[in-house]
């Protein structure tokens, strides 16, 4: 084990022998080779939650929505929409933790990029599911193709999200090709169809220098492409709100505010994912304390950026306290949403901005606890943007039943939201069980001085 010298500095590579490389491959393929008892229980648990979600959706679509969901004419967008915004934000993890780090030559990205990409793809797919759950007539989904009109921000969102799904999927897949070849050559006792799948998906990868050249080139182009598209998906998602005349959302700050929040969530999500994968699959040699140290620093930076945009979004209107904003802002600051609002500010922004400044709190466990609160706060933050934003229309709400005045999500809604989380985690978990979650060749490449050695390995 002492042979595995963990690089403290990202830029210094260790050379190692073929023997060491084989050992590394064994370790990275281990989660794919064998699924333990707890691994199976975890997958089973996620499947059960997904089933509950499907059942809840069945109830929602077959019974009266007036009974099954809490949405009413004034709060017509509820947790499905805030959950959608959360997942779109989470999917920006691929932009920040893979593409930006890669292009800016932060060598510590290497074991992280595939984790980030698979979370990005899973999250954006579940964002789509959340939107369908929110639709009144999901049976008319295809009307978007038949009758779609370009002046609607929803159509912009669909265009950029589909583009992002396509680019992210390809960007996840292309660096996977050499790993598939590794799986094909080194996994044993696996069902025939699984080996066939590796064979088929690796597209005859032989690792020739020419293939490597094409591979690297494609990755570079896609990595550059994914950044503007990723920023677009969340900016356009912000515009779904900002293009309305509602005072609470009528903000030129919204695009940047959403994107900065997404980057903060991306770092926090990455910390949690790295911690879990590191522990569950015993990948401590690859996902090191150095990664937590760096991610902790990124968390501080992103928190401060997000705080900056929050000051612009809330304190500037609060200084003026115009009649358009007063009810909404007072509800958040001192009214019924105040505990939630200040909870999000403290746990979702202030603590992650300050605590990881101390090196001791950038150790894996404390940092992961901080990151967990950031993820929870990030979900609640989207709730606070969407739902209280609808509570104070220009004309007063009068002569309606009580349920029309106050929204709180129903059991069916929360079950479906829980199922979207389970489904996202299931996609990520299954991915790690079929493909090495840490890219063997990218890590090896980073650790080698000369890159020739990894080209023709068998």
Partner 1 sequence: MKNEQEDSARRKFLKFGLLAGGATLAGLGLQNKLLGEAPPDSGKKVKVLTAEGKLVEVDSSLVTHHAADMNLSEDQLREGIAGRKFVMVIDLARCANERKCVEGCQKMHNTLPPIEYLKVKRMQDSELGAPYWFPQMCYHCDNPPCTKVCPVDATFKRSDGIVAVDSDRCIGCKFCMAACPYSARSFNFGRPQQVEYNQKHPADCKETCCSTKSSTVGTVSKCDFCPGHAAKGELPSCVTECPNGTIFFGDENEDSVTNGEETFRLKELLRSRAGYRQFEELGTKPRVYYLPPVKRQFPFEEAKEEHNKEE
Question: Residue 222's closest CA among 280, 176, 288?
Answer: 176
Closer to partner 1 by CB, 36 or 393: give it.
393
Q: How far is the CB of 230 from partner 1 (least distance, A)?
A: 22
Q: How far is the CB of 265 from partner 1 (least distance, A)?
A: 23
Q: How far is the CB of 61 from partner 1 (least distance, A)?
A: 9
Distance (Å, rounded) from C-alpha 220 to C-alpha 215?
A: 9
DSSP 99: I
Buried/exposed code over 181-210 (b: 16+ C-beta within 10 A; e: otherwise): bbbbebeeeeeeeeeebbeebbeebebeee
Q: How far is the CB of 430 from partner 1 (least distance, A)?
A: 31
Q: How far is CA 100 from CA 70, 232, 301, 308, 333, in A?
A: 40, 15, 15, 21, 36
Closer to partner 1 by CB, 82 or 182: give it.
82
Closer to partner 1 by CB, 62 or 105: give it.
62
Distance (Å, rounded) from C-alpha 356 to C-alpha 376?
A: 18
CB-CB contact of 115 with 438 (8 Å): yes
Closer to partner 1 by CB, 32 or 131: give it.
131
Q: How far is the CB of 141 from partner 1 (least distance, A)?
A: 7
Closer to partner 1 by CB, 70 or 202: give it.
70
Buried/exposed code over 41-71 (b: 16+ C-beta within 10 A; e: otherwise): ebbeebeebbeebeebbebbeeeeeeebbbb
Contacts of 406 (CB under 8 A, 6+ apart): none
Helix (H), strand (E), coil (C) string for 280-300: HCCCCCCCCHHHHHHHHHHHH
Closer to partner 1 by CB, 104 or 151: give it.
151
Closer to partner 1 by CB, 209 or 393: give it.
393
Closer to partner 1 by CB, 137 or 192: give it.
137
Structure tokens at 456: 């023709």
Residues at the contact surface with partner 1, assessed by CB under 8 A: 64-67, 69, 71-74, 76-77, 134-137, 140-141, 143-144, 146-149, 151-155, 158, 240-241, 243-246, 390, 393-404
Contacts of 394 (CB under 8 A, 6+ apart): 247, 324
Q: How far is the CB of 150 from partner 1 (least distance, A)?
A: 10
Q: How far is the CB of 14 from partner 1 (least distance, A)?
A: 54
Residue with tokens 């007036």: 66
Question: Residue 407's closest CA among 107, 73, 173?
Answer: 73
Q: How far is the CB of 147 from partner 1 (least distance, A)?
A: 4
Q: How far is the CB of 205 from partner 1 (least distance, A)?
A: 41
Closer to partner 1 by CB, 119 or 416: give it.
416
């Amino acid at each position: 084990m002492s042979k595995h010298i963990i690089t403290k500095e990202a830029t210094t590579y260790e050379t190692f022998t073929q023997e060491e490389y084989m050992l590394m491959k064994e370790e990275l393929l281990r989660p794919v080779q064998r699924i333990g008892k707890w691994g199976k229980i975890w997958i089973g648990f996620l499947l059960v939650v997904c089933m509950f979600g499907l059942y809840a959706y069945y109830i929602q679509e077959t019974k009266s929505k007036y009974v099954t969901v809490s949405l009413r004419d004034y709060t017509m967008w509820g947790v499905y929409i805030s959950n959608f915004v959360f997942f779109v934000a989470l999917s920006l993890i691929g932009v920040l933790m893979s593409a930006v780090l890669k292009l800016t030559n932060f060598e510590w990205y290497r074991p992280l990029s595939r984790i980030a990409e698979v979370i990005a793809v899973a999250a954006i797919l579940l964002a789509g599911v959340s939107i369908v759950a929110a639709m009144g007539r999901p049976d008319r989904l295809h009307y978007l193709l038949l009758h779609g009109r370009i002046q609607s921000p929803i159509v912009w969102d669909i265009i950029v999200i589909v583009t992002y799904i396509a680019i992210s999927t390809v960007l996840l897949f292309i660096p996977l090709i050499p790993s598939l070849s590794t799986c094909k050559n080194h996994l044993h006792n696996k069902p025939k169809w699984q080996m066939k799948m590796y064979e088929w998906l690796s597209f005859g990868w032989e690792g020739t220098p020419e293939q490597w050249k094409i591979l690297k080139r494609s990755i570079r182009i896609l990595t550059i492409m994914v950044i503007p598209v990723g920023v677009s998906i969340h900016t356009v998602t912000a515009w779904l709100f900002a293009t309305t005349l509602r005072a609470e959302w009528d903000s030129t700050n919204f695009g940047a505010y959403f994107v900065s929040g997404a980057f903060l969530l991306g770092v926090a999500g990455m910390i949690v994912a790295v911690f879990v994968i590191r522990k569950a699959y015993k990948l401590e040699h690859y996902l090191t304390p150095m990664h937590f140290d760096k991610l902790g620093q990124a968390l501080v930076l992103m928190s401060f950026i997000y705080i900056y945009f929050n000051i612009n979004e809330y304190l500037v209107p609060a200084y003026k306290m115009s009649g358009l904003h007063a009810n909404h802002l007072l509800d958040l600051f001192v009214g019924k949403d105040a505990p939630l609002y200040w909870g999000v500010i403290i746990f979702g922004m202030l603590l992650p901005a300050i605590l990881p400044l101390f090196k001791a709190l950038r150790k894996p466990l404390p940092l992961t606890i901080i990151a967990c609160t950031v993820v929870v706060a990030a979900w609640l933050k989207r709730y606070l943007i969407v739902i209280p934003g609808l509570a104070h229309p220009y004309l007063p709400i009068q002569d309606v039943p009580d349920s029309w005045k106050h929204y709180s999500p129903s059991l069916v809604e929360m079950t479906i939201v829980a199922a979207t989380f389970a489904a996202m985690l299931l996609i990520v978990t299954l991915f790690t069980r079929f493909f090495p979650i840490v890219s063997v060749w990218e890590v090896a490449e980073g650790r080698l001085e000369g890159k020739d050695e990894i080209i023709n390995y068998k």
